[in-house]
A and B are shown apart, each in its own frame.
Chain A
Amino acid sequence: MSLTLLNVIVAVVIAIAFAAVNAAYLVWAERRGAARIQRRPGPNINGPFGLLQPPADGIKLMTKQLMIPGGADKILFMVAPVLAMVPAIMSFVTIPFSEGIVARNMDIGVLMIFAFASMGAMAILFAGWGSRNKYAVMASVRAVSQSVSYEIPMLITAITVIMVNGSMDLKAISLNQAGGFWHWNIFPSLQSPLMPISFIIFFICSLAETNRAPFDLGEAESELVAGFHTEYGSMGFGLFFMGEYANIVIGACLTTILFLGGWGCPFGLFPGVWWFLLKIYLLIATFIWIRWTFPRTTIYGLLNLSWKILIPISLFNLLLTAGLLKVF
């Protein structure tokens, strides 16, 4: 009994470490990627290729004084960054990196990740409300309405995938798609001919869920200064930042598992964790690429996209899949 408990703790710690390292180094990757897109060197001073930049940034952020603005709601102000970081990292616990590498497999894995993901909106709302700043309040209200409207199509597409696979267990969903790319959920099957569209919807929603450009209305820096984290400095800001990047990794992991066959090789050879990592980093590179290419949408454009286009299509897809599942 105690041995299994120890196993679980070690696995959870490894998952958290993976999330933290990823979050830190994605900042570096993003800055290097952006620099490459914009034809400038980017961080290249600290260490080879600037690889020591994230620890340097971390030390700088941690040694700075934590300022709480006068009149701010102290408790909410302090809780918000932690609340942004913790759920993002906890979601890693249930993600299967390969058949054997999973901290704690659960048969309701998808549900758990979505439950944790919706906590992120709360962190933003707390941060905005707690900082006593008009820009922050406006930004957090935007971010919450965005989260609410994009979680719906995301969940509906996830349900479609769950129905096709007959399981909420991430591991089972991955195993279902094993043996070559033609088994992946992204490609249309008899039961669900609209799967590629589902994938696109899911991808757009995960972009919006992570509050990233072109959907970065929560921190629209040219309008609302820095959005919900305007008043945050030092590690408070650092935690928000880490949380954002951890969320990106979660989004990429979830997309990989639900649509791209998890750790399966496209040609059925040597399935394993390397394929999983390759897929998520390709997705993350796409995230970065999109961010540095597109301008920001407007809030009404964003909500219209969700309510008028994504939700009807995903609902239709859900009904179609349900009907076809009965037939075949």
Chain B
Amino acid sequence: MSAPIQLRPDETFILNVGPQHPATHGVLRVKMQMDGEYIVKAETVLGYVHRMHEKMGENRTYAQYLPNLSRLDYLGALGYTHGHVLAIERAAGIEVPERAEYIRAITVELNRVASHLFWFGAFVMDLGGFSPLMYAIQDREHILDMLEAVTGARLTYCYYRFGGLYNDVDDDFIEAAKRFIPRMRKSLKKYDALVTGNIIFRKRLEGIAPVSAEMCRKYGATGPVARGSGINFDVRKNEPYSVYPEFDFDVPVYHECDSMARYKVRMDEMEQSLRIIEQGLEKLPDGPVMAEKKPKNIKLPVGDFYQAVETARGSFGIRIVSDGDKNAYRLKLRSPTYSNMHLFDEACEGMLIMDALAFMGSLDLVIPEMDR
């Protein structure tokens, strides 16, 4: 017989949520000091899937490091590889053909929609509703099929190359993407009717888990989390990269600061992404998809390079310190969920456990991306 559970003098107890827990969607562990169902204090413990991606970046050549980036966030991988190739291209001064940049933007946005769709399903499942997950996965499946056809992978893409793309998209892809947009718009309306208006759903989210703009700034939260707290920051608009300045799209910002605001931001972002894809398909220029003048072995000049991109989860930054060799001297990845998650410890104090776990769902955590 093991020893009986000892309560502390103040009658709180420690609840270990994770590393294997259905709500954490991965191997995240949260040590919660509980007073009944209320959380007194929470402490997130990371590192269960740490794979040393940064160190790998220092030991591999830049080209060898390409596949690593899509292993960070397996739901929105293209955004991360986009950041990497942009950083290298800017540092090495490689000109990218316009067609390649357009295709990059289209595929990144498709990937963003796929990521948000999966988040939507998983989030509603966190709240106890199962069926929306299946609907979302079905819509996401169309995107994955499209991306599989052009990239050869369903989740861990390695599609972008320094100076362009691995291969051009074909007419099938463009047709499929054009067919997908109206279908997705219809689905978004359906989700709104099924989930957003649901009274139980709204009661569970509205006014729950307020995250102030100050708190977002304090922890460096970005992406939909910050935009749900009224911070109008989107790297695509604020520090434009790639061909994003040519697209007409809005950045959804909500000022309610609650879980519902974060939910709405993501739902609106899907619509905005569809707009970008639509424009991208219209404007898609002809031409090559790979730069003509490109060194075979890329060596960056000595210096310090940084590139930020807006991924599905927030602003992802990659910093490369080069000493002129063919691999980086130091490589640092700034992953958005790592910052977003650290809100959780402070924000969930005094919350009920079920609200706290709904809040965790609204942060859209992908654990391998956080642990790197």
Contacts and interface: CB of A to CB of B under 8 A. Distances in A.
Interface in B185-200: 194-195, 198, 200
B2 interface: yes
Interface string A288-319: 00001111111111000000000000000000
Given A132-B5, A222-B357, A296 B128 contact: yes
Given A37-B131, A214-B128, A297 B138 contact: no
Contacts of A301: 200, 203-204
17 contacts: A38-B130, A40-B134, A70-B1, A220-B128, A221-B22, A222-B128, A223-B23, A225-B21, A225-B22, A293-B129, A295-B204, A296-B354, A297-B200, A297-B203, A299-B37, A301-B200, A301-B204
B153 interface: no
A216 interface: yes
A64 interface: no
Contacts of A295: 124, 127-129, 195, 198, 200-201, 204
A294 B198 contact: yes
Interface residues of A, number: 30
B291 interface: no
**A contact patch SS:** loop
Interface in B17-52: 21-23, 34, 36-37
A62 B360 CA distance: 37
A48 interface: no
Contacts of A225: 21-22
A223 B353 contact: yes
Interface of B: 1-5, 13, 15, 21-23, 34, 36-37, 124-131, 134-135, 138, 194-195, 198, 200-201, 203-204, 352-355, 357
Contacts of B198: 294-295
Contact of B127 (A34, A138, A296): A296
B4 A71 contact: yes
A134 interface: yes
A300 B351 CA distance: 12
Contacts of A70: 1-2
B131 A38 contact: yes
B138 A222 contact: no
Shortest Cβ-Cβ A-B pairs, 5 listed: A296-B128, A295-B129, A38-B134, A295-B127, A71-B2
Contact of A299 (B125, B200, B352): B352
B118 to A, nearest CB: 15
A205 B4 CA distance: 37
Nearest to B4: A71
Given A39-B134, A71-B2, 17 more contacts: A37-B131, A38-B134, A70-B2, A138-B36, A214-B128, A220-B354, A222-B126, A222-B128, A292-B130, A294-B128, A295-B128, A295-B201, A297-B204, A298-B204, A299-B37, A299-B352, A301-B203
Nearest to B24: A222
A309 to B, nearest CB: 13
A213 interface: yes
Q: Which of A40, A71, A298, A300: most chain B Cβ within 10 A?
A: A298
Given A38-B135, A294-B129, A296-B200, A134 B13 contact: yes
A19 to B, nearest CB: 27
A215 to B, nearest CB: 10
A222 B125 contact: yes
A295 B199 CA distance: 10
A214 B201 CA distance: 11
Nearest to A40: B134
B130 A294 contact: no
Contacts of A299: 37, 352, 354
Contacts of B355: 298
Contacts of B1: 70-71
A211 B266 CA distance: 32
A221 B195 CA distance: 19
A292 B4 contact: no
A71 B2 CA distance: 5
Interface string A273-298: 00000000000000000001111111
Interface string A24-59: 000000000010011110000000000000000000
A222 B22 contact: yes
B114 to A, nearest CB: 18
B348 to A, nearest CB: 13
A46 to B, nearest CB: 22
B357 A223 contact: yes
Which of B13, B36, B127, B198 has the most chain A CB atoms closer than 10 A to its own CB?
A: B127
Contacts of A223: 23, 353-354, 357
A222 B134 contact: no
Contacts of B135: 38-39
Contacts of B13: 134
Contacts of A294: 128-129, 198, 200
Contacts of B138: 39
| B13, B200, B355: residue with the most chain A Cβ atoms closer than 10 Å | B200
Nearest to A304: B203
A297 B205 CA distance: 11
A213 B198 CA distance: 14
A221 B204 CA distance: 16
Contact of B131 (A71, A220, A292): A292
Nearest to A294: B200
B352 A298 contact: yes
Interface in A206-230: 213-214, 216, 220-223, 225
